[in-house]
Structure 1
Amino acid sequence: MRGLLGFLPWIVYAVVATSDEWRWGAITGLVIAVALVLLDRRAGRGWDEMVIESSAALFFACLTVLSLVAPHSPLTPYGPALVNVWLAGTAWGSLAVRRPFTLGIARTMAPREVWDTPQFYRVNVVITVAWAVAFTVAAISLTYVLALSPHATTVVVAVKVLSFVVPAAFTAWYPKHVRRRPAAG
């Protein structure tokens, strides 16, 4: 559950931001992200445990500046898609540098003796890919929906919820599946 707290700034932004007043969503997301990073660092958490929180702080800092400097930017209606573009970039980027963003979080929940095993790393690669794919599909879907029907709130909310719930459910299920697999064979 600790790992899911890192998504709080993104979730609050989704609730607070509207196409007319995205500044408050950006500012709120920034405040929550910075608070999470500061609290996590104070609690002794490493940067590898805070990839999503750190990414959120950077994203919302940039978005806050953009929303204040250009409040009527043509990007305004695409805020939900931008979130998923950024999250997809974070997930795919963590894979590109061979440090899946789930790895640090998983280490807080797994015994130390499994941290350096190929299976532990592979499970985190698969889970991170699931998140990356979900974010990518959501970014494409939201861009398409918002371009064609900017007021399709129900569809936008459904895509945002699914892009979080599906990989979260997979994250909970997959490690258990992998642990059971050898026993079944």
Structure 2
Amino acid sequence: MTRYLISFLPWIAYAFVATSDDWRKGALVGLGIATVVIWRDRKSGKNWDEMVIETSAFVFFAGIAWLSYAQPDSDLVRYGPALVDAWLALTAWGSLLIRRPFTLGIARKLVPEKVARTEAFYRTNAVITQVWGLAFAAAAVVLAFIIRADAHATTPMIVVKVASFVIPVLFTIRYPKAVAARRAHQTA
């Protein structure tokens, strides 16, 4: 699970810095952390398919950093929290569209190679990625509505952000165990 947390570190840092300070600084901090995480991961031998979220963070924060300086008064700044989740939803759904669920690369390192090559392993990761995609998409919509109603509604935004992360994390932990138990029950 630590690998997932490190993957989301640029997003978490951006949320703290952009909320407490300035979206420009938040974008630069997110970009900097994404760059360091990717550099560290590549240096340690990680494959690109293990770094989908990190790579997505780099692209997102490079774009947001550019926008924050090119158009500092952009209306998009107001919707930053919703944009983050919309981008993450696009990342999750895009990885499914190309049949490379973003959880697959990380999960593959946690199981024997024989298991990682099975269709069941792929399907399990596709379901997990769908849950992440749904959580991100739902958070983006809810956050956009909250922001539109009251851009300074920090507490509801934090609740949505935490829920949209904790729910898929818990699902990611529990679902593979449930699939394995179901499979064991069927073969018994």
Q: Answer yes or no: same fold by TM over 0.5.
A: yes
Q: How many residues align?
A: 185
- The answer to whether residue 124 in structure 2 is matched with residue 126 in structure 1 is no
Give the aligned partner of residue 2 of structure 1: 3
- The answer to whether residue 13 in structure 2 is matched with residue 12 in structure 1 is yes
Query: Segments of 4+ in structure 1 off by > 4 A?
Result: none
- Summarize deviations over 1:6-53 as a string: whole Å, max 9, x none: 000001111110386111110000000010001111111000000000
Using the TM superposition, give the Cα deviation of residue 4 of structure 1 relative to its aligned residue in structure 2, in angstroms: 2.3
Consecutive unaligned residues in structure 2, runs of 5 or more: none
Matched residue type, 2:13: V
Over the residues paired in the alignment, what is the CA RMSD in angstroms? 1.1
TM-score calculated relative to the size of structure 2: 0.96
Q: Distance in 1 between matches of 2:163 and 2:20?
A: 21
Query: Equivalent pairs: percent with the same residue?
Result: 55
Give the aligned partner of residue 86 of structure 1: 87
Matched residue type, 1:159: V
Matched residue type, 2:28: I
Q: Distance in 2 between matches of 1:156 and 1:79?
A: 11
Using the TM superposition, give the Cα deviation of residue 184 of structure 1 relative to its aligned residue in structure 2, in angstroms: 3.3
- The answer to whether residue 123 in structure 2 is matched with residue 97 in structure 1 is no
Question: SS of 1:30's equivalent?
Answer: helix
Give the aligned partner of residue 150 of structure 1: 151
Give the aligned partner of residue 113 of structure 2: 112
Give the aligned partner of residue 27 of structure 1: 28
Whether the 8 Å CA contact 1:48–1:104 is kept in 2: the answer is yes
- The answer to whether residue 185 in structure 2 is matched with residue 175 in structure 1 is no
Give the aligned partner of residue 64 of structure 1: 65
Matched residue type, 1:152: A
Question: SS of 2:117's equivalent?
Answer: coil
TM-score calculated relative to the size of structure 1: 0.97
Question: SS of 1:18's equivalent?
Answer: helix
Whether the 8 Å CA contact 1:19–1:77 is kept in 2: the answer is no
Give the aligned partner of residue 41 of structure 1: 42
Consecutive unaligned residues in structure 1, runs of 5 or more: none
Matched residue type, 1:173: R
